[in-house]
Amino acid sequence: MASSANNNTSAIKIHEKCLIPPPNSSPQLSLPLTFFDLIWLRFHPVERIFFYSLPTPHSTLDSLLHQVLPTLKNSLSLTLQHFLPLAGTIVWPSDSNKPLIQYNVGDGVSLTVAESSEDLNHFLVNSPVEALDSRSLVPHLESSDSHASVISLQITLFPKSGFSIGISSHHAVLDGKSSIMFVKAWAYLCREGQLSNEESPRLAPELVPIFDKEAIKDPNGRDMMFINNWKQISSQLDPNNNDSSNGRTLKIMSSAFPPLVDDRVRSTFELTRGDLEKIRNRVLSNWDTTVDDEDVVVISSSTKQQPKLSTFLLTCAYVSVCIVKATDEEPKKRGDNNENKFMLGFTVDCRAKLDPPVHENYFGNCVAGHIVDAIKAEDFRKENALVIVAKKIYSKIRSVGTMEGALDGIETMFFRAAMMVKEGKKPIGVAGSARFGVYGIDFGWGKPEKVEITSVDRGITISMAESKDGSGGIQVGLVLNKHVMHLFNELFHAGLC
């Protein structure tokens, strides 16, 4: 029976909560967690929403409930037979010193089917909307001391408009590349099933996951280091937490990473290929003449070759400088001249950097987090801040280009970040990637109108995706205080003129 739940702006009617299992023939499975997985053991879930518009014949409530929804459910079950870990849970056996992923026959993925009275177009605009609004479209991911769900899904129907798919995924099982591989596989089987009427079409080779955990070597015992790190981080970020588990807990630290939605708005910005060229030219034209007290040497004096600046670097530098300047300006208008302190962090995909490299279809975590330590708070505010920040991000990216560099310092990264936060520094993170190709994910009714990383509302985080039109630009998502977002919008567009 349907029930209603309300947030500040929209009514959500829950039609169904169910468990979607893989086919009964799927075997039991147990997988260890590698040190790359354990880095993220109690980190908040990564939350995404895919929005799809449908033509009128498919978007009536009757059609959504009796045609679209059953097709999505059936293809989800078929997909899970290829991605069994997602249907299981993270458990911590009493006789094991670390947790693992366990799938038993009968397990499945939690699916919520909801209906929204909100206009779908409300969520598709790039202009600011209340940050809270998207929260009703994202499912909760269960976790406790003894177990944690791997993934949770919500399909929200927008009668006469379309539907959305909200995904909450546990970061200790999936990194961004793996998460998007699963969604692409689901969409592929859903689409191909409609075209061919096959009961279980085969996955395309690039969508077949590889669960070879033995490929991740750990001669230094990093797995136990990260388990112990979470004990320390828990006590540092939440000193009032009465943890009686002696660190043997799988409970996500929601109190340390809550959604920050009060008085905040969510906006999307576009950097076209032309915009990125403007930023690149501005940085390169001042590259050699911009120095500070700890300038980073990045060009050989003998060759004087200009560095190749990636789209990722240019976006990080430009957007982070705009964020800091907007965040500084808002309190100044109230007469408060206290400057905020910031740090910038991002993750590095290590699949191709390991020795030997792991397969590009490796499913799990294979990313390491890094902080751009060289950036000082005042660097974001200097006259040539864009160039200074770009040079220091460039230096960090070069330093993590090898396996040794990519893994250097990862044992203490989260702890150092936690200490910086405790000291009053505000982290600026990065989520997503323009390489994931999220705007090509078609379930059979067309490509998404919008893809949002909802969990950027848990801090100051820059979400990235390729431009929807495929023109080579970048789509950036942010959640900021309303006044800060207004100032950011002005700075962002003024800097591109």
Catalytic residue list contains 37: no
Catalytic residue list contains 442: yes
* Contacts of residue 10, Cβ cutoff 8 Å, sequence gap at least 6: 116, 117, 118, 133, 136
For residue 330, the surrounding DSSP H or E stretch is helix 311-332
How far apart CA 164 and CA 67 sit, in angstroms, is: 15
Active-site choice (243, 292, 442, 486): 442
Q: What is the DSSP string of 172-204?
A: TT--HHHHHHHHHHHHHHHHHHHHH--SSPPPP
Closest CA relative to residue 323, chosen from 129, 484, 456: 484
* Contacts of residue 42, Cβ cutoff 8 Å, sequence gap at least 6: 230, 233, 234, 249, 250, 251, 252, 253
How far apart CA 354 and CA 216 sit, in angstroms, is: 8
Order of all β-strands in the sheet with 474-481: 129-130, 264-271, 474-481, 460-466, 425-432, 341-349, 367-371
Active-site choice (170, 171, 175, 328): 171
For residue 231, the surrounding DSSP H or E stretch is helix 222-237
How far apart CA 220 and CA 34 sit, in angstroms, is: 12
Catalytic residues: 171, 442
